[in-house]
Structure formats: C-alpha cells, structure tokens
Amino acid sequence: MQPQDFHLTYRLVPTDLLAMLRTRRRHRSKVTAGLRIALHAVILAMGVYALSEWWKTGGWFDLGIVAFLLLSPLLVPLAERLSYRRVFDKQRLGTTDIRFAAGIAGVDVEAATGRSHFPWTAVSRVDTSAEHVFLWLHTYMAVIVPNRAFASSAQAEAFAAYAKSHASGPAL
C-alpha cells in the first residue's frame, strides 16, 4: 500500500453517529452556542413564570404547558439523538459493510444504499477523536471513519494527517 492510498472495509455502530453528533456540537460557533443558551434561558424563564401562574390557578392543561416549557431544553438533544438513530436504522448501517477508499483524487465511499465520491475540495474540516476520524462535508454531514477499521493506530494517525493535509473545502 502506498502512503497516499487507504482502502478500508468497516461497519458503523450507533455510537459512531453519536460521536459525530458530539463532535459537531463541539465546533458550533460561539454565536450559535450563545443564541442556543439564550433561547433555553428564555424558555426556562417562561416555564418558571407559567409555574408561578399555575400555582395560583391550578389546572392540568396549564401544568402540561409548564412541564413542556421546563423540559424543552432537554428535548432538543433527545430529538437529535433519536433522529440520528433513525438514520442509522433506515440506512442499515449496522448490517452492511462500508467500503472506503482515499487517495490523491479524494474519498470514495460505497455502502448498500449507494456510492459517493468526494474530492478533497469538498472536505471542509477533518476532526479526530480517540475512536474516529471525521471528514466534514458540511455542518451536518461527515464521512465517519472509525479507527477500528485501520490495522493499527499508527495507520489511523497517518490517515488523519493525510486527510488534514488534503482537505481544502470551504470553511464551516
């Protein structure tokens, strides 16, 4: 194998998609993160206000609104997690092999649902973790390459370095 050619076959597991979600969250802009925190604070304040009003008047409907407002900051991450799980199941990612190749021309990914080629100019960012290499194509889509697919951790590190040196897509 030449240093610039990487050929792998692997299967994804649900935790691979969750790791991508965690990595995506880590790279949100400060403005996006600030707006999200402000929105959650407003919703919680509305919930506290609604709770104080419910305490005066009572009623099950009002209590439902209070519960929704107080729990909604927890519902957003839960909904994201469930949607990634649904994508995982729909694309049969845990039951089919993914064939991955990377070289000077870009990245090729083939699975039961289709085949894709991404030139390096389409890869905006490369993130690494202890268990994965993520080739980000845009904010919500990444090619996930688990380190377990490589013969050794040295090969995984070599691929990550190679990908970082070739990724030249638009900044996210």
For 16-69, write each residue's pLDDT tens digit: 877 887 787 665 566 666 777 787 777 777 777 777 777 677 666 667 777 777
For residue 46, what are its two tokens? 């509305």
Ranked by mean pLDDT, the top range of 2-11, 13-22, 108-117 is 108-117
pLDDT at 1 over 50: no
In this prediction, residue 147 carries a pLDDT of 96
- Higher-scoring residue by pLDDT: 62, 136: 136
In this prediction, residue 2 carries a pLDDT of 44
93 and 12 in contact (C-beta within 8 Å)?
yes
| 130 DSSP 8-state letter | S
